[in-house]
Chains A and B, each alone.
Chain A
Amino acid sequence: MSILSLHNVSRSFGALKVTDDVSFDVPTGQALGIIGPNGAGKSTLFNLITGNLSVDRGTITFDGADVTRTSAMHRCLNGMGRSFQIPQPFGSLTVFENLIVAATHGRGLRERDVADDCADILERTELIDRANDPASSLSLLQRKRLELARAMATQPKLLLLDEIAGGLTEGECRALIQTIRQIHASGVTIIWIEHVLHALNAVVERLLVLDFGRVIGIGDPATIMASREVREIYLGIEV
């Protein structure tokens, strides 16, 4: 069973074709990594999947239903959670409230029913010490953690992560990998865009390579990384 399927999805900005006839399936429970050079269209692909952008052509199926024309809000309610590459915190709310708003609206629950979960997530993402501070006061790294934490708070079936491992120390990166593995182990399907390949390879079972908006390879990470096309694109980038 695939939880997510894209069929011939395309999207252009003016004359620039940023997503070019993309098709792939993600089986339920899989962890899929997405790599590709800067500007390849990775974040755009996320925006199409989550409904922040609408597709020009093609269809998107999520959890058995066609969601091509469904709003971002409804896709969240149906079980999609995402982080933004450039963090988008609710700056006037506290860190804890950022999670509360996601948990109450994303899951349709009352505040008192989600408070414990939210506090747990803040501990797992090491934000608990900042729980009562305004989100606008967080550092960039903490904002990235908040992106992950807030997406977790909606308790998604499919979690989409956009470059959350950049700039971490060795220890922080290990902790992050640990957290994402835990989420994955609990049955959540994960799609993770990441330039930090060793972190990605520690988690994902399958790798998709995007270049100029096209899928140029998808499959077993080791095989994909060994292919000539990928090596050419990544020449000069640490592997």
Chain B
Amino acid sequence: MAINKPVRITTPLSNVDVQKLKVGMPVLISGVLYSARDSAHKRLVELLDKGKKLPIDVKGQIIYYMGPSPPPPGRPIGSAGPTTSYRMDPYAPRLMAIGLKGMIGKGTRSDEVKAAIKKYKSVYFAAIGGAGALISKCIIKCDVVAYDDLGPEAIRRLEVRELPAVVAGDMYGGDIYEIGVKRYRKK
């Protein structure tokens, strides 16, 4: 996989935007993202189960699997790299079903999630795990919008500028973790 020039994308995403994104493509994401991790996902899906309204509208949006470190004085947010995505796998298809268009995290996804990405025309991006300082610099604004009691796990509305990531799972069923590793594995 050669590195191409990164594709610039801006949220919210439409079907047309998502169709253009293919596995291995580097992207620079700008616009609004929502951060949510394990506990927030659990609460969102519990609301869906009860037929209640969610505290955020996920339609066309991207959820970033991330729980930041506290903001040092003068900064909107602390370190802000991705957390491991598979822990959100049980919840992600439910959110895609109501219009979520993208997820940013790190690591492999379940077959159910990959099937949902195809079915609902969504996309999964991988950001660099452990590059929290670099990513922090791309976040220009951060507000807690729900579940403040969860501390680092609260839902935050983030305004980002050119957050670097790579398409790790596309609506055509492509998975960077399968393709990339196969290519370099010995025996």
- Chains A and B come from one and the same complex: no
Interface residues of B (CB under 8 A from A): none
A interface residue numbers (CB < 8 A to B): none
